[in-house]
Amino acid sequence: MLLRPLPVSYLQLGTFSVCGLVFFVFLLRAISQRTPEAGGKRDRRSQLGIAIQSIGIALAGFGLVKATLPPFSAPSLAGTAGVLILMGGAIGLFAASSRELGRNWSLVARMRSDHELIRTGPYARVRHPIYLGMLLFLLALAVALGHWVQVLVALPVFFIGTAIRTHLEDGLLEQSFGDSFRDYRRSTPALLPRIF
């Protein structure tokens, strides 16, 4: 049985495509600004988390797209606004977080020999804001494509991959920074900021 998507408009799809391109420009910029490092610790097990997160995002995008809504209809405009809000959050979190991390940023969980514990910018609200940005990206993809059923499968998969990565990264930070990191962990949620 094929999963039936909600109807979407080409305006939603185009908005996601443009915002997705901007997101990937920031990702490529962060990758290109990495500096070589000597020493430090690396945990390649985080690559499993990366793979599982990627599968979660791919699941949100898997399936048919039913682009039948008139572009300026109320449902299309609401969907487009949802995509803009979610992708704006994803882009903003990734850009601010990778800038705040500076040379500490990496795809794979690792600690540089001169690593710093960052607690400013988005890191003052959550310990892993880039993963929150990736979650917003996943949700924006589902909204853009009308994939309401797929997101029910994609979210648990994404959260499993995220749990693997946050566990490994938090472990490395605790080994390096001890009580400073434990205080940070107690006061700052991992992924979703406290509202109050």
Higher pLDDT, 190 or 195: 190
Q: Is 192 a domain residue?
A: no
Residue with tokens 């930070």: 173
Q: Is 195 a domain residue?
A: no
DSSP assignment of 11-53: HHHHHHHHHHHHHHHHHHHHHHT-----S-EEETTHHHHHHHH
Residue of 69, 53, 49 lying closest to 5 (CA atoms): 69
Q: Is a pLDDT exceeding 90 seen at residue 183?
A: yes
Higher pLDDT, 166 or 109: 166
pLDDT at 120: 92
Q: Is 121 a domain residue?
A: yes
Q: Is 2 a domain residue?
A: no
State how many domains the chain has.
1
Q: Which residue segment(s) compose the domain that 62 sits in? A: 7-32+41-187
Q: Is 173 a domain residue?
A: yes
Higher pLDDT, 3 or 141: 141
**CATH assignment at residue 87:** 1.20.120.1630
Q: Is a pLDDT exceeding 60 seen at residue 58?
A: yes
Higher pLDDT, 44 or 113: 44
Say if CB 53 and CB 134 are below 8 A apart.
Answer: yes
pLDDT at 105: 78
- What Cα–Cα distance (Å) separates residue 174 from each residue in 94, 164, 177? 23, 15, 5
Q: Is a pLDDT exceeding 50 seen at residue 1?
A: no
pLDDT at 2: 54
Q: What contacts 82, CB < 8 A, 6 or more positions away? A: 140, 143
Q: Is 193 a domain residue?
A: no
Query: What is the chain's mean pLDDT, rounded?
Result: 90
Residue of 191, 102, 86, 91 lying closest to 142 (CA atoms): 86
DSSP assignment of the chain: -PPPPPEE-HHHHHHHHHHHHHHHHHHHHHHHT-----S-EEETTHHHHHHHHHHHHHHHH-S--EE-S-TTSHHHHHHHHHHHHHHHHHHHHHHHHHHHHGGG--SSEEE-TT-----SGGGGT-S-HHHHHHHHHHHHHHHHHT-HHHHHHHHHHHHHHHHHHHHHHHHHHHHHHTHHHHHHHHHS-SSS----
In the numeric block, which tokens belong to residue 65? Answer: 């797209």
pLDDT, tens digit (0-9, with 9 covering 90-100), for 8-31: 999 999 999 999 999 999 999 988
Q: Is 168 a domain residue?
A: yes
Q: Is 11 a domain residue?
A: yes
Residue with tokens 């938090």: 170
Specify the pTM: 0.92
